[in-house]
Amino acid sequence: MVLPYPYPDELLLSRLIRYLRLSGEQPSSFCLRTFNSRRVSLHPFLTGGISPIASMTNEDPDTILYTQTLAPLFLFFLPKYRNKILTSLLSNKGINIFKGKPLPTFSHRGSRILKWCSICAKENIYDYGVSYWHRTHQIPGLTSCYKHNIKLSFIKLLSRKQLIDKLLPIPNDEITYSSTLDFRLSSFCYELLSNLKNKESNINLVLLYKSRLDELGFVTKNGHLRTSKMMSEFESSFKYFPDGNKAPTNEEYDHSQYIFSSFSNNCYLHPLRYLLQSNSVFQHLLLSHWLFDDAKHLLQYDFPIKNNKHVHKSKESDYKIKQHYLTLLKSGSSLSEVHRQTGKSKNYLKTLALNNGITINSKPHFINKELHHRIVKLAKLNIHRHRIAEQCGISSGAVEQIISSEKGLASWRKQCRFESRRRCHRVCIIRYRQKYPLTIRKEIKKNCYASFMWLYKHDHQWLECNLPPPTKVKKNNRSKA
């Protein structure tokens, strides 16, 4: 099978429609031969089953994916779904992209749409003898032609009828010019889609947006986003979007207006967080066009090198202040006196002294080396910290600080508690089996539920070895009348 040669910016679905029109083959037989199923629904701009099509036409599947579908835009703006998009489109399971709501369905009242420009259709018929579907026109939310500055016409696609041999754009004489903002946005989308041909993109969108916003003065010195200022300027730039002052006349304009209004209404708390959580490519295109105004500037953006001298200075000053605290503690001053001089809390100073092996002087109680060793010894015996505090006459907080200052002691006590709990649950199961030797697993789980579930989660191998063997299911062979 040989598909017609792709025209500039042609959609894969358009090539399949032209093949059916030239060959005369029925869509059902083509789907059965290519996808092994007659009931195949092909998405207009995220067409699945690329690998089966490429194997029958001896073409490169990556070339088809990156030049004849809108996959490059989704891979660029939604990197967290990259693997799912690639595997779904290359395999014969394109519908998996929309399962679990990773991507919107792009439907309008239960039907998908295809868009075209009347002047583009006339020029295609004059140049190639046939009109075809342009890939850039199908970007969700786009309402203007990137070449002629006129509104796009649209047609609804009923379910499971996307592959029709006569479904090609038809020129019409009704032409309505679009606004300058719509035309500039469509030109930006075309330029960006034309340059997204690399299989791998190392651009970090979060860092890209933050750096550009910082360059435009929307980020404070502390790294916080000036949300109100940013959103006010963003909304003023898209004040008459879409279609200028005129009311929208079809569903696509309603859809683009809805996307813009939902973006502007939900971004006042944290615009970047909302944008990265939403799966709307058109919202990314709106923000990218507002920030960069040029697709090449977006793709070739040089991240500004920040001066990190103040960071090193702050680290050096913190180290000097910490050394000053240690000097005061080593001089023999009491904890209260150091607290009054530095303004730091007593818990912080006490932890700092214990981590650096400094003996501190405290007026209420003096923890000498002997008491310290005694607390560590009792802690290694896995005695509760409240009991240790009662025996030593100090607070439980001081005991906790001494335990945390000893390397590996806290993890050792945690392991001891785990072993003690496991031993108790094991004994519970063993005693129940000794008391009821003919019991089954279901009864053990019912009467020793807490021990059974704990061992099932933390000691599954021992539980399987010490439970009675599972009983086989007995079939009830009923006599048939």
Express as a percent the part of the chain with pLDDT over 70: 79
In a domain, 329, yes or no: no
- Full-model pTM: 0.59
Q: What is the mean pLDDT of the chain?
A: 81
Of 156-160, 352-356, 425-429, which one has max mean pLDDT? Answer: 425-429
Q: Is 454 helix (H, G, I), strand (E, B) or coil?
A: helix
In a domain, 74, yes or no: no
Q: What are the beta bridge partners of residue 118?
A: none
Question: Looking at residues 279-292, what average pLDDT do you find?
Answer: 86
Which has more confidence, 465 or 344?
Answer: 465
Question: Looking at residues 35-43, what average pLDDT do you find?
Answer: 80
Tens digit of each residue's pLDDT (9 = 90 or more) over 81-123: 888 888 888 887 666 666 655 565 555 444 578 899 999 999 9
Tens digit of each residue's pLDDT (9 = 90 or more) over 150-205: 999 988 876 555 567 678 898 888 888 988 888 999 999 999 998 887 655 677 88
Distance of CA 221 to the CA centre of its chain: 28
Residue 334 has pLDDT above 60, yes or no: yes
In a domain, 417, yes or no: yes
* Tokens describing residue 63: 């070339």
Which has more confidence, 303 or 230?
Answer: 230
Question: Looking at residues 470-478, what average pLDDT do you find?
Answer: 75
pLDDT at 108: 47
Question: Looking at residues 432-460, what average pLDDT do you find?
Answer: 93
Could you tell me if 367 and 394 are in contact, meaning their C-beta atoms sit under 8 angstroms apart? yes
pLDDT at 473: 75
Distance separating alpha carbons of residues 142 and 140, to the nearest angstrom: 6
For residues 263, 269, 272 and 274, what is the CA-based torsion angle, rounded to 10 degrees?
-50
In a domain, 447, yes or no: yes
Q: Is 140 helix (H, G, I), strand (E, B) or coil?
A: coil
Question: Looking at residues 246-251, what average pLDDT do you find?
Answer: 43
Could you tell me if 376 and 427 are in contact, meaning their C-beta atoms sit under 8 angstroms apart? no
Distance separating alpha carbons of residues 374 and 325, to the nearest angstrom: 28
pLDDT confidence bin for 428, thresholds 50/70/90: very high
Distance separating alpha carbons of residues 61 and 55, to the nearest angstrom: 8
Neighbours of 271 (CB within 10 A): 22
What is the pairing mode between strands 112-116 and 153-157? antiparallel
Residue 250 has pLDDT above 70, yes or no: no
Of the listed ranges 218-222, 260-264, 288-292, the least confidently predicted one is 260-264
pLDDT at 104: 56
pLDDT confidence bin for 55, thresholds 50/70/90: confident
Of the listed ranges 281-295, 418-432, 453-467, the least confidently predicted one is 281-295
When divided into structural domains, the chain yields a total of 1
Tens digit of each residue's pLDDT (9 = 90 or more) over 66-75: 999 999 998 8
pLDDT at 340: 82
In a domain, 223, yes or no: no
Which has more confidence, 105 or 27?
Answer: 27
Distance of CA 371 to the CA centre of its chain: 53
pLDDT confidence bin for 420, thresholds 50/70/90: very high
User: Could you tell me the residue range of the domain that residue 436 belongs to?
Assistant: 412-466
Question: Looking at residues 127-138, what average pLDDT do you find?
Answer: 93
In a domain, 267, yes or no: no
* One-letter amino acid for residue 202 of the chain: N
In a domain, 431, yes or no: yes
In a domain, 71, yes or no: no
Of the listed ranges 114-128, 387-401, 414-428, the least confidently predicted one is 387-401
